[in-house]
């Protein structure tokens, strides 16, 4: 009798890639490539031939990953309703505790937890009200580091953490800011690498990577206690305070001390997610701008001549998200109950426990969607606009799937789409304008190829950035004041 790994599960309906190992299919090869050799999952799918097979068969194919049946997709078209899949952090829940991603999307508590973040980071009016605070904090940070030569990844990480620490109604960490924890010998590993650890599980199926999780617990408790005074007087939208309200607990030092490990992981996840993925996205944006002087000049002209350069800056952020992004290159979720897909004229039932993989790096370079798929070119974003000058908020809505950078896999109605995406894009755009308006920027030594042994997508070499203040005319000085 043939081993299941050698069999095509849907012969004549969905193309199947058998792999080279009759016993494990792609299981052993995937493990060696991603975990031992440090390749990202998308690169494995390309080198193994899985991606090319899917390209020739409507964007889908199957393969066996050991005993697990896997359905591979390299287009951003949703195939499934979210509640037909296991929760998005089902495989690495030990890291996230009671975070909303551990719950099914139709669970009422999931809605309550998500609302805590969306009331602040997903509220257009609220976000717009933060513009001045973001610009001021960015201005203050840039003054501190002007003329210094800094690694670009440190530059973006510390700038976003500096800004996010003091934003009213977000974190309100005014006593012990996030930058302290990034530099801390005790907590720096957790503050910098939390999502890399998580991504190792969800992108490379490496459950052994979950380690040092208690550092997040202890760090989060320290954050809450150290910033208790500023949190106590924070606006009602503050995401930490809102967690306590959702738990029906008073916000007090006693309540902080009584938090369980699971609850501390939940708050810690929200705190780290606020700055970590945004700083990685900004790293890619600046790296691509540094490598594309013509595009950089477009931004400078927009800043000098247009009333609202934020619009162009936002398009640049979206284009960098498409090419680089802040999620692993390929992600998967497990099928919770059977569902039917419609593929090349056939209705096919996908069984329980199937791994549904999305190769988001390849899907975001779909030549059927983007006219210049491998280039950093805002015409790619303009091409997906449904009307001329469509708002960025519309492109980022739950119903849009052309770019995957805010979902693990795309699902109908996208109930799990990142609740902080509007804030993240707006913040990055404001930073770009503040930076290019007031400074001459040099970025050297960047290599945009993907780094190995990194679960989050990072360039091989982020490069070195140095900023020097522009000479300000008297009219510019008056305008800035």
User: Quick one: the chain helix, strand, coil %, rounded to 5?
Assistant: 50, 10, 40
The Cα–Cα gap between 193 and 191 comes to 6
pLDDT of residue 98: 56
pLDDT of residue 475: 41
Q: Which two tokens stand for residue 148?
A: 């210094």
Q: What is the mean pLDDT of the chain?
A: 92
Pick the range with the lowest mean pLDDT from 10-24, 76-90, 93-107, 154-168. Answer: 93-107
Name the residue ranges covered by the structural domains of the chain: 1-74+330-364, 75-327+365-402+404-480
Q: Which two tokens stand for residue 150?
A: 């800094």
DSSP state at residue 468: E
The 10s digit of each residue's pLDDT in 147-163 is 999 999 999 999 999 99
Q: What angle do CA 363, 422, 194 make, to 5 degrees?
A: 70
Residue 91, pLDDT above cutoff 80:
no
Q: In Å, how far from its chain's centre is CA 62?
A: 26
Strand partners, 356: 71, 333
46 backbone dihedrals φ, ψ, rounded to 5°: -70, -50
The Cα–Cα gap between 339 and 78 comes to 13
Percentage of the chain exceeding pLDDT 70: 91
How far from 166 is each of 133, 238, 430, CA to CA, in Å?
Answer: 8, 11, 16
Q: What is the mean pLDDT of residues 200-217?
A: 70
Pick the range with the lowest mean pLDDT from 137-141, 216-220, 269-273, 474-478. Answer: 474-478
Is the CB of residue 290 less than 8 Å from the CB of residue 447? no
pLDDT of residue 40: 96
The 10s digit of each residue's pLDDT in 374-410 is 999 999 999 999 999 899 999 999 999 999 988 889 9
User: Which residue in 464, 461, 454, 465 sits closest to 192, CA to CA?
Assistant: 454
Q: What fold, for 75-327+365-402+404-480?
A: Cytochrome p450 (1.10.630)
The Cα–Cα gap between 239 and 118 comes to 10
Q: Which two tokens stand for residue 135?
A: 């610009």
How far from 63 is each of 50, 220, 258, 303, 410, CA to CA, in Å?
Answer: 8, 40, 47, 49, 20
pLDDT of residue 154: 98
How far from 156 is each of 189, 261, 302, 435, 451, CA to CA, in Å?
Answer: 17, 30, 22, 12, 18
Write the DSSP string, 266-335.
HHHHHHHHHHHHHHHHHHHHHHHHHH-HHHHHHHHHHHHH-S-THHHHHHHHHHHHHHT-SS-SSEEEEB
Q: Which residue has the tokens 């964007």?
A: 59
User: Which residue in 45, 48, 59 sits closest to 15, CA to CA?
Assistant: 59
DSSP state at residue 153: H
pLDDT of residue 94: 61
């Amino acid at each position: 009798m043939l081993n299941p790994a050698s069999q095509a599960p849907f012969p004549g309906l969905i193309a199947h890639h058998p792999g080279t190992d009759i016993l494990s299919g792609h299981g052993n090869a995937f493990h060696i490539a991603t975990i031992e050799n440090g390749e990202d999952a998308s690169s494995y799918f390309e080198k193994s031939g899985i991606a090319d097979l899917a390209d020739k068969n409507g964007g889908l194919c199957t393969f066996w990953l050991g005993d697990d049946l896997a359905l591979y997709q390299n287009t951003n078209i949703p195939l499934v309703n979210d509640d037909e899949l296991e929760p998005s952090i089902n495989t690495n829940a030990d890291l996230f505790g009671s975070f909303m991603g551990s719950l099914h999307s139709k669970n009422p508590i999931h809605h309550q937890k998500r609302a805590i973040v969306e009331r602040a980071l997903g509220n257009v009016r609220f976000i717009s009200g933060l513009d001045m605070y973001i610009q001021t904090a960015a201005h203050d940070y840039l003054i501190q580091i002007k003329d210094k030569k800094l690694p670009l990844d440190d530059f973006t990480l510390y700038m976003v953490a500096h800004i996010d620490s003091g934003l009213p109604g977000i974190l309100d960490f005014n006593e012990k800011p996030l930058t302290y924890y990034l530099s801390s010998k005790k907590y720096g590993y957790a503050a910098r690498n939390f999502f890399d650890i998580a991504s190792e599980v969800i992108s490379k199926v490496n459950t052994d990577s979950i380690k040092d999780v208690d550092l997040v617990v202890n760090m989060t408790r320290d954050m809450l206690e150290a910033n208790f005074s500023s949190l106590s007087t924070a606006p009602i939208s503050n995401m930490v305070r809102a967690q306590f309200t959702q738990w029906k607990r008073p916000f007090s030092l006693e309540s902080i001390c009584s938090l369980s490990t699971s609850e501390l992981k939940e708050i810690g996840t929200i705190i780290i997610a606020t700055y970590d993925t945004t700083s990685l996205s900004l790293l890619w944006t600046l790296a691509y701008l540094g490598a594309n002087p013509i595009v950089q000049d477009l931004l400078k002209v927009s800043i000098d001549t247009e009333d609202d350069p934020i619009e162009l800056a936002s398009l640049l952020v979206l284009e960098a998200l498409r090419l680089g992004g802040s999620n692993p290159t390929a992600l998967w979720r497990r099928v919770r109950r059977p569902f039917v897909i419609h593929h090349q004229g056939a209705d096919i039932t996908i069984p329980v426990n199937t791994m549904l993989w999305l190769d988001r790096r390849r899907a975001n370079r779909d030549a059927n969607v983007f006219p210049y798929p491998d280039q950093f070119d805002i015409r790619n974003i303009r091409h997906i606009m449904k009307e001329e000058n469509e708002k960025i908020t519309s492109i980022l809505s739950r119903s849009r799937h052309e770019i995957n950078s805010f979902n693990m896999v795309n699902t109908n109605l996208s109930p799990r789409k990142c609740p902080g995406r509007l804030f993240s894009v707006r913040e990055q755009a404001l930073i770009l304008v503040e930076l290019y308006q007031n400074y001459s920027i040099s970025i050297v030594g960047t290599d945009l190829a993907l780094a190995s042994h990194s679960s989050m997508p990072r360039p091989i070499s982020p490069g070195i950035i140095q900023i020097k203040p522009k000479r300000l005319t008297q009219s510019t000085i008056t305008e800035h004041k």
